[in-house]
Structure 1
Amino acid sequence: MDFVPFDTVGLTASQFNDFHQTYNVLKEKFNIQPTGNINFNLDDFESFKFYTDVRIRGSFVIKRAKNDCYILFVEVRYKTMGDKTSHVYHQDYQTWAISYLKQDFGRILIRRETLADKIVELVHPVEIDFAEDKAFSNTFYVLANDHQKAVAGMNRDFRNAVMDTRSDDFVIEINEYSLIIGNRHTLSPEKTVHLAEFIERVANLC
């Protein structure tokens, strides 16, 4: 078998095909290149606190972007409650994308707004809304620890990039100068391309 730039240990034939197809699509569309071993400090993000273990199976840089941005193939392990006091253990493979920003955004969480969010907002107004951008505010739920930094960083161009993201059920998390985007869906070529399109746009804007 030819060399592949991701960890294949323990993958089933179906899982390997998912990885390989996703890599080939990214390679053709974005001219990605393997990074080698880089510590992306995923433990710094709340999005990964749910998991008992997170391991990067492959990491790739999008070279044509103005600033550093990457696609990550990630293995995650987590547990859920089974019957009574027992736990059920799970393992999955996901795609996340990460970019490093020029300015400090503070800590921000962005995801699609749900009906439950709208109800909570009536009682506890914690969400950031953009009065000049009702379409964005009606679509996305934004939480931040520093209102001033968040509003300064999330300008019109940034919000447009988020609005144009074609991936469903994604979450964007920003930890000061680092932004990640992903979801809890199993790795697939189509969803990965959507994440790569967004992260490349952010890297060119921010």
Structure 2
Amino acid sequence: MQITKLGGYLLAFALVVLTGCAVDPKYSALKPLEGADRKVNINDIRQLRQMDRTPILDANLIAFVQRVRQRLEDAWGKPCDCVVVVDSFSGYEAYSLSTTTIVLSAGLIAQASSEDEVAAVIAHELGHVYQGDTTKGSQQQAALDMVKLAGWATGAGGYTLLFGETVDDMTKGLIYKRWSKEQEIAADRFSAQLLLKAGY
């Protein structure tokens, strides 16, 4: 009986993912973020909240990071079609959630000694966006979501025997494990070139 239920859950999930019919457009639309020059993908905001992060909605702060991003983007000569979001985390952190959303922590902004330092971090994340690393990261996230689904379908924790650690443990460091060493080095090189072009 358990195998039949598992098959039913997986089939239902596959149908929703493959057809897209069950997705209400108002929940997957881009939404305005006060102070930003572009809209933010609501799914990226949801992902932030799942990580217990809250976007900071200070219009001046948002305008500052968008201005830096725009300067870098103009210097590169190709739009990234992305937005920079500042989250409430007090540590020093930056990452790309998707091809449309780069996140800087409030702690990073507070500890930065100059605009150049903030620009260097944004330029590095733009390297991931422009080089397509975010697409590979999205594939990792999709695989992780499938593991979670399998865990729920098998009834809490049966999947941990297969993977050697709990899904929660796997997700805690996900933003730090998304890119390979080669991708990080490439993003650093990209950042150095972009900062020079932008006059930082």
Structure with higher Rg: it is 2
Query: Greater relative contact order (Cα 8 A, min sep 6): structure 1 or 2?
Result: 1
What TM-score comes out, normalization by structure 1 length? 0.31
The structure that is strand-richer by fraction is 1
Higher normalized helix content (fraction of residues) = 2
